[in-house]
Chain A
Amino acid sequence: MQMKKKGVLFPVVFTIIGIFFLAGCGSEHRFVKKTAFKDANSIVIEFAGPVDEEWAKNSGNYSAFEKPDPDIQLKVKNIVLSPDNRQVTLVFEDDLNSKEPHMLTLNNISSEGKSLGTAILSVKKIYLGYLFSILIGAMIINNFVFSKYLGLCVFFGTSQKKSTAVGMGITFTLVMVVSAMMSWFLYQFILVPFRLDFLQIVVFIGLVSLSVQAVDTILRKVNPALFKAFGVYLVLVIANCIIIAVPLILADSNYNALESLMLALGAGLGFLIALFLMSSVRERLELATVPPTYRGLPIAFVVAGLFALSFLGFSGMTIF
């Protein structure tokens, strides 16, 4: 019985992931094969077929900006076309900040006299590395508890025992991923097209409560043993401000599906790490002689402060 259920579940999950993946890649143009940074100040564009020299050499056809600053247009200094007309190298006046994704617009691409429409491309570093850096960034470098100071109520409430901490962390990660993906989908495909994005707070908080309720119901039916172990933490998840902060951050920074998944996963795992570290210390604190006025929460805050200081060491770190 159990096997059969699994057999049904997995294709469904993969299909959903596949749909997200396609949706995430929808903005790329079919005629452009590859874009990449080269040296400090150039971008290489590879086309699927030869482009017309006259079009390619006209710098008015290109416009580029850094994704966070759409107002600042980057100036193209030089354009180099490869001998087979399939590759264009844009040399910019200033060095590019390759940490940020760049948006590149190619107006009216023309190939062998035919116009192929306008392409809007985003130029990024190697995608998997970029995804990984989002994950590690949310997990450790910008740990939500120790570097962004969110989710503290639940953090101090459930970090007394290691077993509680791990249970809470796992439940939280699960609900975080589910609700973040749902709210990303709703925001990108419903709120933005209909210009309802001012409703984001109301919608996200409703969605979070909904997904908590959904996970509760599904877990109760599918795996009662797991529900017995983790069910108590589900109610607490909703009181955690990280779970509402992540959808808001996703909405602000316009991530695509995979990037959103990575950020949500990183936020959840980062919370798990923070809870585990904290509970290990607090189990020892039980045995220590603490001044009576500091007993309980105050000393926990001082410990958290020390953790935050040590996590400060990660700040400014970049991977890839």
Chain B
Amino acid sequence: MVSNGILNENPIFRLALSMCPAVGISTTVMNGIMLGIAVLFVQVFSSCTIAAIKDYIHPRIRIPTYTLTIATWVTVIDLVLAAYMPAAYKEMGIFVKLIVAFAIITMRLEMFACKNSVPSSFWDGIGMGLGFMFGMMALGFVRELLGMGTILGYDVLGFRPLLFFVLPAAGFFCVGIMMAMFNYMELVYNRKKRG
């Protein structure tokens, strides 16, 4: 169930949801990890909340309920990050608050959490959150290595190969190329299976 979120239904590369942070702030691995943790937190807690109270929600008001639940948990993580990690919070800027508008979280609540028990929703949330984190880290890895020659702030290459990759515009190229890679992998896999 956890690996489902990471590979088959990877939120960034396969479902093509919540693209904004993937393009905007995946400039370093650290940024990817930080936002990944924030999303993981919000996803897991809102999944659990919805799974726990699903019997009391009238179906006609379920979407507003989801939105408010997510908004509450986003406020929590927003205040926590601002208090304990001001530097990282400043780097991510408005994107922490924008987790509230991530389609991926609402989608998981609608598709999974409102039909399943608390423990399985918990694991589903972990899988989706990790999938998002993995995607952000992969993008951050490529962009940090190519743009600044460092990984996690440590100098690896000793020079800066392509400064272009630090520019947010390169985020579009990276996501596009990575998506194509995932598509290619699927193509090869299907061809093999067919013999």
Contact = CB atoms under 8 A, between A and B. Distances in A.
Interface of A: 146-153, 156, 198-199, 201-202, 205-206, 209, 239-241, 243-245, 248-249, 291-294, 297-302, 304-305, 308-309, 311-312
A249 B75 contact: no
A149 B25 CA distance: 9
B103 to A, nearest CB: 5
A298 B74 contact: no
Contacts of B100: 201, 205, 244
A198 B98 contact: no
A244 B171 CA distance: 22
Given A153-B20, A209-B64, A292-B187, A198 B75 contact: yes
B20 A302 contact: no
B101 A241 contact: yes
B20 A152 contact: yes
Given A150-B98, A302-B173, 12 more contacts: A149-B168, A202-B68, A206-B64, A206-B68, A244-B97, A294-B176, A298-B176, A298-B180, A301-B175, A302-B177, A305-B171, A305-B173
9 contacts: A202-B68, A202-B71, A202-B72, A239-B103, A294-B180, A298-B176, A305-B172, A308-B172, A312-B169
B183 A293 contact: yes
Given A206-B68, A302-B173, A156 B183 contact: no
B79 interface: yes
Contact of A301 (B17, B24, B103, B176): B176
Helix, strand, loop or mixed for chain B's interface? Answer: helix
B184 A152 contact: no
Contacts, number: 111
Contacts of B68: 202, 205-206
A88 B159 CA distance: 56
Contact of A297 (B170, B171, B173, B179): B179
A305 B101 contact: no
A10 to B, nearest CB: 33
A243 B101 CA distance: 9
A229 B16 CA distance: 27
B9 interface: no
Nearest to A213: B64
Given A206-B67, A248-B94, A312 B173 contact: no
A149 B24 contact: yes
A249 to B, nearest CB: 7
A240 B17 CA distance: 11
Contacts of B67: 205-206, 209
A152 to B, nearest CB: 4
A149 B23 contact: yes
Contacts of A311: 169
Contacts of B168: 147, 149, 308
Given A149-B24, A205-B67, A245 B176 contact: no
A201 B173 CA distance: 31
Contact of B101 (A146, A244, A292, A294): A244
B167 interface: yes
Nearest to B175: A301
B16 to A, nearest CB: 6
Q: 8 closest Cβ contacts across the A-B interface?
A: A301-B176, A305-B172, A149-B24, A308-B169, A241-B101, A152-B19, A298-B180, A305-B173
Residue of A156, A298, A299 with highest tally of chain B CB at under 10 A: A298
Given A153-B19, A292-B187, A201 B176 contact: no
Contact of A201 (B19, B74, B169, B181): B74
Contact of A240 (B24, B64, B101): B101
B3 interface: no
Contacts of A152: 19-20, 23
Given A245-B98, A299-B176, A301-B175, A205 B71 contact: yes
A297 B184 CA distance: 13
B151 to A, nearest CB: 23
Nearest to A301: B176
A153 B18 contact: yes
A294 B175 CA distance: 11
A144 B81 CA distance: 25
Given A305-B169, A312-B167, A241 B75 contact: no
A148 B74 CA distance: 21
Contacts of B20: 149-153, 241
Contact of B179 (A150, A205, A298): A298
